[in-house]
Amino acid sequence: MRIPSSSWRRYVGQSINCNLRVHHNHESASYRKSHPSLHYEYHEIAEEIFWLDPAFVPHFVPAGLLNIMELWQALVFRSLQESDLKDMLPGGGRGIADSELGLGANVRNLLGQGLSFTESPDMGYYRFKNSPDPIKQAYFEKMRNRSADRRWWSDRDAKRESLLRGDIYQGTFGPSFGTLERAGEDRMFTIHYAYILFGTTFWRRWDESTIRVKCELAPEGEMHPHCVVRGCYFLVNDPARRLGIRISGIMKCNGEESFCWVNMWGDQTTMRINSLVDFLLDRPTDIGEPRRFLPRNLWVGRPKGIYTSKDLRDGYDYINVLRKHDASFEE
């Protein structure tokens, strides 16, 4: 990767399917955003990028051997960090200019892949805190802020208030999934176990860093006034009928804001949205509530949670079933 007004940066990796790895991961802006790395920091600003696929490796080669081969090539191309190169190269890398030892984009020890931090300690992005390279410093700041964002996003109260205010969305967006022919063309994100879809048309026009998600709640007993919500098939006692989800972003072409409203179609989607409304109201979802999604692994053998029945009596029947299969369950 050739960086403006600078030297080439080098990165070494391995994959069973290089075409998929390069074109669907490395070359995908959304993938790079959701999987930050020093390699991608250089990728974003590079003027030229060249890929070299030196060999085809059979599937039966052990993963440990592949890691050793990957480390060997990382030493050949000096794609590791300066301190790692000095530890691993013969003679500590004497005879190689310091400027040549600081051009690598690989951060972690390649032999530590697949191991936990306890098994293979790693400095990670902290090693770049005082780096003279401005790109590495920028990467350190981004990762430090990302860690803070994750801690903030795990705070239920902060998350709830953010959604009600319509702040910039802190999560990630990805392709939709399903078995329909057009599945994958929409974008999808998750709010409290509810899968939210919106059109790729908006996604392509917006600057992703400006996308806001706002959850608007109508008063108790009323339906949200927007026509998109009124066009959904809700039952009269579904809390989802109170909720309108508005997504907005700044358009890349003219810097103006545009928005869309989310369609909430499908019975299971409605049940998840019902639980989302409970969350927005800071009201715990009870096992006896009808038409709810319960994410906890209460039902033995159901790791993805359960949906409660449409009618309240059946909803209370769930309690007896859960008591039978899970002695630790408390009403």
Mean pLDDT, residues 226-234 taken together: 87
Whether 307 shows a pLDDT value over 60: the answer reads: yes
Lowest mean pLDDT among 26-40, 148-162, 259-273: 148-162
Residue range 73-100: mean pLDDT, rounded: 84
Asked if pLDDT for residue 252 goes beyond 60, the answer is yes
Residue 179 confidence (pLDDT) above 60: no
84: pLDDT strictly greater than 70: yes
Instruction: Share the mean pLDDT of the chain.
Output: 78
Residue 273 has pLDDT above 90, yes or no: yes
Greater pLDDT, 323 or 125: 125
Q: Would you state the pLDDT for residue 241?
A: 93
- At 172 the pLDDT is 75
Between helix 267-280 and helix 156-165 the angle, nearest 10°, is: 110
Strand 212-217 and strand 243-250: the pairing is antiparallel
Stretch among 139-153, 216-230, 240-254, 305-319 having the lowest mean pLDDT: 305-319
Checking phi first, is residue 305 left (phi over 0); if not, alpha (psi -120 to 50) or beta? Answer: left
Q: Which residue has the higher pLDDT, 320 or 190?
A: 190
pLDDT of res. 183: 47
CB 195 within 8 A of CB 272: yes
Q: What pLDDT is recorded for position 279?
A: 92
- The mean pLDDT value for 228-252 works out to 90
| % of the chain residues with pLDDT over 70 | 77
129 C-beta neighbours (distance < 10 Å), count:
12
Q: What is residue 86's three-state secondary structure?
A: helix
**Integer Cα distance of 101 and 83 in angstroms:** 9
pLDDT at 296: 59
Task: List b or e across 137-147, with b for residues whose CB sees 16 or more CB atoms inside 10 angstroms.
Answer: eebbeebeeee
Q: What is the pLDDT of residue 142?
A: 77
pLDDT category at 287 given cuts 50, 70, 90 is: low
What's the pLDDT score for residue 319?
Answer: 47
pLDDT for residue 175 is more than 50? yes
Q: How far apart are CA 220 and CA 60, in angstroms?
A: 61
**CA angle (310, 311, 313) in 5-degree steps:** 145
Mean pLDDT value of segment 195-213: 86
Residue 165 has pLDDT above 60, yes or no: yes
Mean pLDDT of all residues in 295-320? 53
